[in-house]
């Protein structure tokens, strides 16, 4: 039994056998990943969630402008302010999904990571906000630490070079150095 976002009341999930969606072969385009739909159990029925590409209705090779145009169109359609009175919750959930898809696919690094995870089949519990915000925080902390370390290192090098070259020394320091050099010669 297949259900695309709908649950069949009275159906027992133990007797439902999930089926594999059809694979369309395009010989003119190389296959670089296999997409698996995300299946979750909801109210005793299977609900198949789409990949971000399917959700936005664009091909996997879609450009940033295609992603942006698809997002604008779907955001206008599913925004909670324009939803029918009886379907506000459904439209809000769909709007959040569309927004998450746009945020992931419009950022090249997030998109690459999403594609890599999809190729491995790790799309079942994918949540771009939670995963990438943590990842971004770790990367940001590392880059801040590295920048601070480089700054300190360059300051130490500058101070070390300044001692050798008299250009950065004060007048009194230069006079002491000259006095020391004269006393060492005698």
| pLDDT at residue number 45 | 40
Its domain, for residue 29, covers 1-49
Q: Are residues 17 and 101 in the same domain?
A: no
Q: Residues 57, 147: one domain? A: yes
Confidence of residue 153 (pLDDT cuts 50, 70, 90): confident
Q: Look at residues 91, 21, 33, 77 and name the one whose alpha carbon lies nearest to residue 59.
A: 33
How far is the C-alpha of 8 from the C-alpha of 159, rounded, in Å? 75
pLDDT, tens digit, 9 for 90 and up, residues 46-71? 445 678 888 899 998 889 999 999 99
131 & 64 share domain: yes
Bigger pLDDT: 24 or 76? 76
Asked whether residue 178 is domain-assigned, the answer is no
Angle at 166 between CA 165 and CA 169, to 5 degrees: 125
Claim to verify: residue 72 and residue 41 sit in the same structural domain: no
| Burial of residue 166 (number of CB atoms within 10 Å: 0-12, 13-18, 19+) | exposed
Overall number of domains in the chain: 2
Q: Cα–Cα distance between 171 and 180 in angstroms, integer?
A: 14
Query: How confident is the model at residue 39, as a pLDDT?
Result: 44
Same domain, 88 and 74: yes
């Amino acid at each position: 039994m297949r259900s695309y976002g709908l649950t069949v009341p009275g159906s027992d999930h133990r007797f439902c056998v999930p089926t594999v969606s059809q694979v369309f072969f395009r010989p003119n385009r190389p296959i670089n990943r296999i997409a698996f739909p995300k299946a979750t159990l909801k109210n005793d029925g299977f609900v198949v969630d789409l990949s971000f590409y399917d959700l936005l209705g664009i091909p996997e090779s879609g450009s940033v402008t295609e992603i942006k145009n698809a997002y604008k169109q779907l955001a206008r359609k599913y925004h909670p302010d324009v939803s029918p009175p009886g379907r506000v919750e459904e439209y809000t959930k769909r709007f959040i999904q569309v927004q998450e898809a746009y945020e992931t696919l419009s950022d090249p690094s997030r998109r690459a990571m999403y594609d890599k995870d999809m190729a491995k089949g790790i799309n079942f519990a994918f949540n771009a906000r939670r995963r990438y915000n943590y990842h971004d925080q770790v990367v940001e902390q590392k880059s801040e630490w590295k920048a601070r370390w480089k700054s300190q290192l360059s300051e130490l090098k500058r101070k070390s070079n300044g001692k050798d070259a008299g250009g950065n020394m004060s007048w009194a320091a230069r006079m002491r150095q000259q006095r020391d050099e004269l006393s060492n010669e005698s």
